[in-house]
């Protein structure tokens, strides 16, 4: 990626071009171009939060990289736990069904805030308000056109100033259109 002066400020390399970045993801990551997002969102509402998840594109080819974003909006006064945590606490995680469609290359969490719990004598990493968890995923599906659904699970334990509620799991079902490679275009 180059800036307005023609200076390279970001790059990615994959061995033998075996994996390819999505242009939409590169525009979003490097230039914060919101219009590059063309994926569909799935939303879940709980007593503690509103969460939505989606892939950056509606389509995916084998070996193409796409970004899964899980956006979490906690209700006022609520927080969830980040990492690292002592034994007995339930951290916020995202998992993607392993299968024949996508694999997760990496998960990116924002930096949590530190909450000082004086009564317990502990300082714990937490998230409050709105935050995003991003997963860089790679298409591993067959080289054919078909619709698939990818299951994504968000796990968390919400707390307020007085109560820690039981841990919860919410699930998103995300449609993705698998596409074959256009080998004539790639040549």
Average pLDDT of the residues in 109-130: 92
User: What confidence tens digit (pLDDT) does each residue in 152-174 have?
Assistant: 999 999 999 889 999 999 999 99
d(CA 34, CA 23): 13
pLDDT of residue 185: 47
Q: Is the pLDDT of residue 60 over 50?
A: yes
Q: Which residue has the higher pLDDT, 24 or 43?
A: 43
End-to-end CA distance of the chain: 22
Q: Is the pLDDT of residue 121 over 70?
A: yes
Enter the CATH code of domain 20-186: 2.60.40.1250
pLDDT of residue 23: 54
Average pLDDT of the residues in 85-93: 91
Strand segments, DSSP code E, in 30-145 are 42-45, 49-55, 59-61, 65-74, 79-81, 93-96, 102-108, 113-117, 122-128, 130-139
> Among 183, 185, 177, 120, which residue's Cα sits nearest to residue 147?
177
pLDDT of residue 141: 77
d(CA 125, CA 37): 30
pLDDT of residue 123: 92
Q: Is the pLDDT of residue 35 over 90?
A: no
> Among 127, 125, 131, which residue's Cα sits nearest to residue 72?
131
Helix H or strand E encompassing 97 = none
């Amino acid at each position: 990626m180059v800036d307005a002066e023609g200076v390279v400020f970001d790059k990615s390399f994959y061995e033998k071009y075996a994996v390819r970045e999505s242009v939409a993801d590169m525009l979003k990551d490097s230039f914060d171009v919101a219009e590059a997002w063309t994926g569909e969102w799935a939303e879940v509402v709980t007593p503690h939060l509103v969460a939505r998840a989606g892939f950056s594109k509606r389509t995916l080819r084998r070996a193409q990289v796409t970004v899964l974003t899980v956006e979490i909006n906690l209700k006022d006064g609520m927080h969830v736990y980040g990492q690292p945590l002592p034994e007995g606490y339930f951290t916020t995680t995202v998992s993607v069904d392993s299968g024949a469609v996508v694999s997760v290359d990496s998960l990116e969490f924002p930096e949590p805030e530190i909450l000082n719990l004086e009564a317990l004598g502990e300082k714990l990493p937490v998230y409050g308000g709105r935050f995003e968890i991003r997963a860089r995923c790679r298409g591993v599906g067959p080289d054919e056109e078909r619709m698939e659904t990818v299951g994504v699970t968000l796990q968390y334990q919400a707390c307020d100033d007085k109560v820690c509620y039981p841990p919860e799991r919410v699930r998103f079902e995300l449609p993705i259109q698998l596409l074959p490679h256009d080998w004539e275009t790639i040549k």
